[in-house]
Structure 1
Amino acid sequence: MKKYAILIVLSCLLYTMINTMDTYASNVFKEGVYKAADFNFSSGSLYRVQNISNKNASIFVFDENQAEIQYIRLNPGSRSYNLVPLRSSYRIAIIGNGEIFISS
Structure 2
Amino acid sequence: MKKFLLMFLITIFLLFNLTCSIFAANIFKEGIYKAADFNFSQENTYSVQNVSPEDSVYILLFDENQLQLQSIRLAPQSGKYNLLPLKPDYRIAIVGKGDVFIG
- Provide the C-alpha distance between the structure 1 equivalents of 2:96 and 2:25, rounded to a whole number of angstroms: 19
- Provide the C-alpha distance between the structure 2 equivalents of 1:23 and 1:40, rounded to a whole number of angstroms: 15
Q: Counterpart of 1:41 in 2: which secondary structure?
A: coil
2:44 matches 1:51: no
TM-score (norm 2): 0.90
- 1:44-70 deviation line (CA, Å, top 9, x unaligned): 321111111120101011111112111
**1:36 offset after TM fit, Å?**
0.3
CA RMSD of aligned residues (A): 1.2
Question: 1:46 is matched by which residue type in structure 2?
Answer: T
Aligned to 1:6: 5
Question: 2:86 is matched by which residue type in structure 1?
Answer: L
Q: Alignment identity in percent?
A: 49
Extract structure 1 runs of 4+ deviating beyond 2 A: none
- Provide the C-alpha distance between the structure 2 equivalents of 1:61 and 1:44, rounded to a whole number of angstroms: 17
Structure 1: unaligned runs, 5 residues or longer? none
Structure 2 counterparts to residues 24-39 of structure 1, below 5 A: 24-39=23-38
Question: 2:8 is matched by which residue type in structure 1?
Answer: V
Structure 2 counterparts to residues 1-104 of structure 1, below 5 A: 2-53=1-52, 54-103=54-103
